[in-house]
Amino acid sequence: MTSLGEIARVFLLLGTAAFGGPAAHIAMMHDQVVRRRQWLGNAEFMDLIAAVNLIPGPNSTELAIHIGRRQAGLAGLAIAGICFIVPAALIVATLAAFYVEYGHTPDARALLTGIAPVIIAVIVHATFQLAKTALKSAWLWIIGALAAALSIFGVNELAILFGAGLLMLAAHGGRRALAVVVVACASSASLAAASTASVSLATLTLFFLKVGSVLFGSGYVLIAFLRADLVERWGWLTEQQLLDAVAVGQFTPGPLFTTATFIGYVLAGWPGAVLSTIAIFLPAFVFVWITHPVIPRLRGSRPVAAFLDGVIAASLGLMAAVAVTIGRTTLTSPLWIAVAVASLVALTMWRVNSVWLVLAGAVLGLAWR
């Protein structure tokens, strides 16, 4: 058992410094809880990644909650999730107040310019370390590479993950498990049909509770979901307000789902921000609470284990694709290429804490601007 104080310290640190989206968050969690503290091994860490990819909600937040549950039971589950979410939510709510008052948010481009090369190095390092353990055959390496290529060319992440899992499942003859997975996918899709009506704290809370309960995939899926209802169907937000909300979620640390915090504040002030944040993240705690006890048993079933292996291989491919995508737009000069390489060397050779590298990148970006 790990103390609740230590769990709180780790996830408050990550919630404050984990920039770059789910792939970066997962890479930094790997650095903190696998490499530095040995709370769990690479294989178990990858099983948790596979598990969070199979349930709705923010993947990196659910991974934090799983780790807390493993280390300190239900209290750890709550502490890890809350500590990872709250720093980002407070930052986003503060920026929302600034936005409502002045009509725009502070310019964070300089900060992100310096952080991006470090994030690339962190993702590459974590992906390679995990791949050495998780990709146990040439076939899994091929699936991982194919997943990365499909992601780079714009194929839906959920389709890639389930496709890889089903491919491995079919290869191992798991027809019954295959049917269960197909039914589960259809059920989750049908849940997304629910809707709400006019703006109020109650309808705002119910809307984000629905989003947190049924949304699979990346932050880009979240954007499409929010736009369809908030902008097009109900007119609660303008197109520009939605874009500003998403931008804030992207350039602040922690989960992109804190976009809900920003939207809640814009629509209903601090009560709206608090209720929207609770509503969109609450299902993640429930899903982890329900699924965590069964994860160790999944490896005992050969068909399910095969499905998990496929999902894990695809997950690593998606992480690699994120590094490639970020690199194409940010490694535009010898300086930032050198920062990425130096960060990778520091992680590999000297085991430097990834949080300090991110903060150093932020300072360098501000100085460069």
Mean pLDDT by 10 residues, the chain (369 residues): 93 88 87 92 90 84 95 96 95 90 71 80 85 86 93 82 86 56 46 51 90 69 72 82 76 85 93 95 94 82 83 85 84 91 91 81 85
Integer angstrom CA distances of residue 151 from 35, 56, 316, 325:
28, 19, 11, 9
Would you state the pLDDT for residue 350?
85
- Specify if 280 maps to a domain: no
Of the candidates 348, 336, 352, 351, which has an alpha carbon nearest to the alpha carbon of residue 112? 336
146-203 tens-digit pLDDT: 999 998 888 877 788 888 988 888 887 655 554 444 444 444 444 434 444 567 889 8
* DSSP labels, 20-48: S-HHHHHHHHIIIIIIIT-SS-HHHHHHH
- Specify if 332 maps to a domain: yes
**DSSP summary character for residue 258:** G
- Specify if 281 maps to a domain: no
What size, in residues, is the chain?
Answer: 369
Residues 13, 254 contacting (CB under 8 angstroms): no
Would you state the pLDDT for residue 119?
79
- The radius of gyration of the chain from alpha carbons, rounded to an integer in Å, stands at 20
Would you state the pLDDT for residue 221?
57
- Specify if 124 maps to a domain: yes
* DSSP labels, 157-201: HHHHHHHHHHHHHHHTT-HHHHHHHHHHHHHHHHHTT----S-SH
Contacts of 245 (CB under 8 A, 6+ apart): 226, 237, 259, 262, 263, 266
Contacts of 10 (CB under 8 A, 6+ apart): 32, 33, 37, 80, 83
58-97 tens-digit pLDDT: 889 999 999 999 999 999 999 999 999 999 999 999 989 9
Indicate the pTM of the whole model: 0.74
Would you state the pLDDT for residue 327?
86
- Specify if 307 maps to a domain: yes
Would you state the pLDDT for residue 217?
54
User: Is 186 buried (19+), middle (13-18) or exposed (0-12) by CB count in 10 A?
Assistant: exposed
- Specify if 109 maps to a domain: yes
Terminal C-alpha separation, the chain: 45
Of the candidates 216, 254, 207, 239, which has an alpha carbon nearest to the alpha carbon of residue 84? 254
Domain membership of residue 42 as a residue range = 4-189+289-368
**DSSP summary character for residue 294:** G
Bin 196: left if φ > 0, else alpha if -120 < ψ < 50, else beta: beta
Q: How many domains does the chain have?
A: 1
- Specify if 319 maps to a domain: yes
- Specify if 356 maps to a domain: yes
Would you state the pLDDT for residue 249?
75
Is residue 350 classed as helix, strand or coil in its secondary structure?
Answer: coil
CA distance 316 to 365: 28
Would you state the pLDDT for residue 174?
52
Would you state the pLDDT for residue 184?
47
Cα 347 off chain centre by: 21
